Amino acid sequence: MTKHEEKVAFITGANRGIGFETAKRLGELGITVILGARDLAKGQAAARQLQALDINSEAIAYDANQPESADTAFDYLDKHFGKLDILVNNAGVGIEPLFGSNDSSSVSAEVLQKTFQTNLFSVIALTQKLLPLIKRAPAGRIVNLSSILASQTLHSMPNSPIDPAKAFAYNASKTALNTYTIHLAHELRDTPIKVNSAHPGWVKTELGGPGAPMEVVDSYKTSVRLATLDASGPSGGFFHEGDSLPW
Protein backbone atom coordinates (compact mmCIF):
# COMPACT_ATOMS: atom_id res chain seq x y z
CA MET A 1 0.00 0.00 0.00
CA THR A 2 1.42 3.39 -0.98
CA LYS A 3 1.21 6.50 1.13
CA HIS A 4 -1.47 7.81 -1.20
CA GLU A 5 -3.60 4.70 -0.57
CA GLU A 6 -3.32 4.42 3.21
CA LYS A 7 -5.57 6.45 5.49
CA VAL A 8 -3.97 9.43 7.20
CA ALA A 9 -5.25 11.46 10.14
CA PHE A 10 -4.09 14.81 11.47
CA ILE A 11 -4.84 15.47 15.15
CA THR A 12 -4.11 18.83 16.74
CA GLY A 13 -2.95 19.04 20.35
CA ALA A 14 -1.95 15.40 20.07
CA ASN A 15 1.19 15.10 22.18
CA ARG A 16 -0.81 14.38 25.36
CA GLY A 17 -4.26 13.83 26.83
CA ILE A 18 -7.30 13.24 24.66
CA GLY A 19 -5.42 14.02 21.46
CA PHE A 20 -2.72 11.46 22.17
CA GLU A 21 -5.23 8.74 23.07
CA THR A 22 -7.18 9.50 19.91
CA ALA A 23 -4.01 9.24 17.82
CA LYS A 24 -3.08 5.97 19.51
CA ARG A 25 -6.46 4.35 18.89
CA LEU A 26 -6.62 5.52 15.27
CA GLY A 27 -3.09 4.21 14.79
CA GLU A 28 -4.11 0.83 16.17
CA LEU A 29 -6.68 0.69 13.37
CA GLY A 30 -3.88 0.95 10.81
CA ILE A 31 -4.31 4.66 10.14
CA THR A 32 -1.17 6.79 9.82
CA VAL A 33 -1.39 9.52 12.45
CA ILE A 34 0.24 12.94 12.23
CA LEU A 35 0.48 14.65 15.59
CA GLY A 36 0.15 18.41 15.68
CA ALA A 37 1.96 19.83 18.72
CA ARG A 38 2.78 23.37 19.79
CA ASP A 39 6.08 22.10 21.20
CA LEU A 40 7.61 20.04 18.39
CA ALA A 41 10.02 18.22 20.72
CA LYS A 42 7.11 17.00 22.84
CA GLY A 43 5.24 16.01 19.69
CA GLN A 44 8.21 14.01 18.45
CA ALA A 45 8.52 12.27 21.81
CA ALA A 46 4.83 11.31 21.63
CA ALA A 47 5.28 10.06 18.05
CA ARG A 48 8.16 7.85 19.21
CA GLN A 49 5.89 6.32 21.86
CA LEU A 50 3.43 5.40 19.14
CA GLN A 51 6.16 4.13 16.83
CA ALA A 52 7.26 1.79 19.61
CA LEU A 53 3.76 0.28 19.37
CA ASP A 54 4.21 -0.25 15.60
CA ILE A 55 1.97 2.71 14.79
CA ASN A 56 2.87 4.83 11.78
CA SER A 57 3.25 8.24 13.38
CA GLU A 58 5.02 11.54 12.84
CA ALA A 59 4.81 14.94 14.51
CA ILE A 60 4.73 18.43 13.07
CA ALA A 61 4.66 21.83 14.74
CA TYR A 62 1.15 23.21 15.04
CA ASP A 63 0.31 26.26 17.17
CA ALA A 64 -3.26 27.57 17.09
CA ASN A 65 -1.92 31.06 17.81
CA GLN A 66 0.35 31.08 14.75
CA PRO A 67 -1.55 31.54 11.45
CA GLU A 68 1.33 30.06 9.46
CA SER A 69 0.84 26.74 11.27
CA ALA A 70 -2.08 25.89 9.00
CA ASP A 71 0.18 26.41 5.97
CA THR A 72 2.84 24.18 7.53
CA ALA A 73 0.30 21.40 8.06
CA PHE A 74 -1.03 21.71 4.51
CA ASP A 75 2.45 21.65 2.96
CA TYR A 76 3.48 18.56 4.96
CA LEU A 77 0.33 16.58 4.26
CA ASP A 78 0.22 17.56 0.60
CA LYS A 79 3.87 16.64 0.05
CA HIS A 80 3.84 13.31 1.89
CA PHE A 81 0.29 12.03 1.29
CA GLY A 82 -1.49 14.23 -1.25
CA LYS A 83 -4.75 13.97 0.76
CA LEU A 84 -6.16 13.90 4.28
CA ASP A 85 -8.74 11.33 5.35
CA ILE A 86 -9.36 12.49 8.91
CA LEU A 87 -9.00 15.86 10.63
CA VAL A 88 -9.49 15.92 14.40
CA ASN A 89 -9.61 19.49 15.68
CA ASN A 90 -8.67 18.55 19.22
CA ALA A 91 -6.55 21.48 20.49
CA GLY A 92 -8.41 23.74 22.91
CA VAL A 93 -7.99 26.03 25.91
CA GLY A 94 -9.95 27.06 28.95
CA ILE A 95 -8.51 30.14 30.61
CA GLU A 96 -11.23 30.79 33.21
CA PRO A 97 -12.15 28.39 36.01
CA LEU A 98 -14.74 26.17 34.37
CA PHE A 99 -16.78 25.42 37.48
CA GLY A 100 -18.22 27.23 40.46
CA SER A 101 -18.60 30.79 39.16
CA ASN A 102 -20.32 32.87 36.51
CA ASP A 103 -18.04 35.50 34.97
CA SER A 104 -20.44 36.75 32.29
CA SER A 105 -20.47 40.30 33.70
CA SER A 106 -16.71 40.50 34.18
CA VAL A 107 -14.91 38.34 31.59
CA SER A 108 -12.28 40.42 29.83
CA ALA A 109 -11.91 41.03 26.12
CA GLU A 110 -8.43 39.49 26.35
CA VAL A 111 -9.77 36.21 27.75
CA LEU A 112 -12.52 36.14 25.12
CA GLN A 113 -10.07 36.79 22.30
CA LYS A 114 -7.54 34.18 23.44
CA THR A 115 -10.20 31.55 24.02
CA PHE A 116 -11.96 32.13 20.72
CA GLN A 117 -8.64 32.21 18.86
CA THR A 118 -7.78 28.66 19.90
CA ASN A 119 -11.22 27.10 20.20
CA LEU A 120 -12.86 28.62 17.13
CA PHE A 121 -10.88 30.90 14.82
CA SER A 122 -7.87 28.59 14.46
CA VAL A 123 -10.15 25.60 13.90
CA ILE A 124 -11.92 27.39 11.07
CA ALA A 125 -8.63 28.56 9.53
CA LEU A 126 -7.06 25.10 9.69
CA THR A 127 -10.15 23.33 8.38
CA GLN A 128 -10.51 25.74 5.47
CA LYS A 129 -6.83 25.33 4.63
CA LEU A 130 -6.93 21.52 4.72
CA LEU A 131 -10.32 21.08 3.09
CA PRO A 132 -8.86 20.68 -0.44
CA LEU A 133 -6.83 17.71 0.87
CA ILE A 134 -9.88 16.27 2.64
CA LYS A 135 -11.85 16.51 -0.62
CA ARG A 136 -9.17 14.37 -2.31
CA ALA A 137 -9.82 11.52 0.15
CA PRO A 138 -12.50 8.95 -0.72
CA ALA A 139 -14.55 9.75 2.40
CA GLY A 140 -13.18 12.57 4.54
CA ARG A 141 -14.08 12.93 8.20
CA ILE A 142 -13.84 16.13 10.27
CA VAL A 143 -14.22 15.91 14.05
CA ASN A 144 -14.49 19.10 16.10
CA LEU A 145 -13.80 18.63 19.81
CA SER A 146 -16.60 20.45 21.59
CA SER A 147 -18.01 20.10 25.09
CA ILE A 148 -21.33 19.41 26.72
CA LEU A 149 -20.85 22.88 28.20
CA ALA A 150 -21.64 24.24 24.73
CA SER A 151 -25.24 23.07 25.01
CA GLN A 152 -27.62 26.04 25.14
CA THR A 153 -30.47 23.65 25.85
CA LEU A 154 -28.83 22.16 28.93
CA HIS A 155 -27.62 25.50 30.29
CA SER A 156 -31.08 27.09 30.06
CA MET A 157 -33.19 24.25 31.41
CA PRO A 158 -34.50 24.22 35.01
CA ASN A 159 -32.28 22.22 37.36
CA SER A 160 -29.61 22.07 34.68
CA PRO A 161 -27.07 19.26 35.18
CA ILE A 162 -24.31 21.66 34.03
CA ASP A 163 -25.54 24.67 36.01
CA PRO A 164 -22.29 25.20 38.01
CA ALA A 165 -20.21 25.48 34.82
CA LYS A 166 -20.75 29.02 33.56
CA ALA A 167 -17.30 29.99 32.23
CA PHE A 168 -18.62 32.28 29.54
CA ALA A 169 -15.64 32.51 27.15
CA TYR A 170 -15.06 28.75 27.07
CA ASN A 171 -18.72 27.80 26.79
CA ALA A 172 -19.49 30.39 24.13
CA SER A 173 -16.46 29.40 22.05
CA LYS A 174 -17.61 25.78 22.00
CA THR A 175 -21.19 26.81 21.18
CA ALA A 176 -19.82 28.78 18.23
CA LEU A 177 -17.75 25.76 17.22
CA ASN A 178 -20.93 23.68 17.16
CA THR A 179 -22.48 26.28 14.88
CA TYR A 180 -19.51 25.89 12.54
CA THR A 181 -20.03 22.12 12.56
CA ILE A 182 -23.67 22.52 11.54
CA HIS A 183 -22.94 25.04 8.81
CA LEU A 184 -19.94 23.21 7.32
CA ALA A 185 -21.80 19.89 7.32
CA HIS A 186 -24.66 21.57 5.46
CA GLU A 187 -22.28 23.03 2.87
CA LEU A 188 -20.69 19.60 2.34
CA ARG A 189 -23.95 17.62 2.44
CA ASP A 190 -23.65 16.48 -1.17
CA THR A 191 -20.10 15.18 -0.71
CA PRO A 192 -18.79 12.03 1.04
CA ILE A 193 -17.32 14.24 3.82
CA LYS A 194 -18.89 14.08 7.27
CA VAL A 195 -18.49 16.81 9.91
CA ASN A 196 -19.47 16.30 13.55
CA SER A 197 -18.91 17.75 17.02
CA ALA A 198 -17.66 15.50 19.80
CA HIS A 199 -18.06 15.77 23.56
CA PRO A 200 -15.36 13.40 24.83
CA GLY A 201 -16.65 13.41 28.40
CA TRP A 202 -15.40 15.10 31.54
CA VAL A 203 -11.82 13.86 31.49
CA LYS A 204 -8.93 14.01 33.97
CA THR A 205 -6.80 16.36 31.85
CA GLU A 206 -5.11 19.66 32.66
CA LEU A 207 -8.34 21.36 31.55
CA GLY A 208 -10.80 18.92 33.10
CA GLY A 209 -9.00 18.74 36.44
CA PRO A 210 -8.34 15.85 38.84
CA GLY A 211 -11.98 15.61 39.93
CA ALA A 212 -13.22 14.53 36.52
CA PRO A 213 -14.80 11.06 36.45
CA MET A 214 -13.29 9.84 33.15
CA GLU A 215 -9.73 8.61 32.81
CA VAL A 216 -7.66 9.83 29.88
CA VAL A 217 -7.30 6.29 28.52
CA ASP A 218 -11.06 6.21 27.89
CA SER A 219 -11.31 9.67 26.35
CA TYR A 220 -10.79 8.65 22.73
CA LYS A 221 -14.09 6.88 22.15
CA THR A 222 -16.23 9.66 20.72
CA SER A 223 -13.52 11.13 18.51
CA VAL A 224 -12.51 7.76 17.07
CA ARG A 225 -16.12 6.77 16.43
CA LEU A 226 -16.80 9.97 14.49
CA ALA A 227 -13.46 9.77 12.66
CA THR A 228 -14.26 6.29 11.37
CA LEU A 229 -17.96 6.59 10.48
CA ASP A 230 -19.08 4.58 7.49
CA ALA A 231 -21.10 6.05 4.62
CA SER A 232 -24.39 5.64 6.51
CA GLY A 233 -23.15 7.61 9.52
CA PRO A 234 -24.44 11.02 10.59
CA SER A 235 -23.11 14.45 9.68
CA GLY A 236 -23.79 17.78 11.34
CA GLY A 237 -24.41 16.25 14.76
CA PHE A 238 -23.23 16.64 18.35
CA PHE A 239 -22.35 13.38 20.10
CA HIS A 240 -20.95 11.72 23.19
CA GLU A 241 -19.96 8.16 22.30
CA GLY A 242 -23.14 6.81 20.67
CA ASP A 243 -25.56 9.38 22.08
CA SER A 244 -26.78 12.58 20.46
CA LEU A 245 -26.52 15.69 22.63
CA PRO A 246 -28.89 18.68 22.59
CA TRP A 247 -27.64 21.88 21.01
Alpha carbons 131 and 53: distance in angstroms, whole number: 30
Pick from 107, 102, 99: which is nearest to 165 by CA? 99
**Residues 6 or more apart from 179 whose CB is under 8 A from it?**
none
Catalytic residue among 62, 76, 170, 220: 170
Judge whether 220 counts as a catalytic residue: no
Query: For residue 214, with 0-12 CB atoms within 10 Å meaning exposed, 13-18 middle and 19 or more buried, which class applies?
Result: middle
Query: For residue 95, with 0-12 CB atoms within 10 Å meaning exposed, 13-18 middle and 19 or more buried, which class applies?
Result: middle
DSSP state of 96: S
DSSP state of 92: -
- Residues noted as catalytic: 170
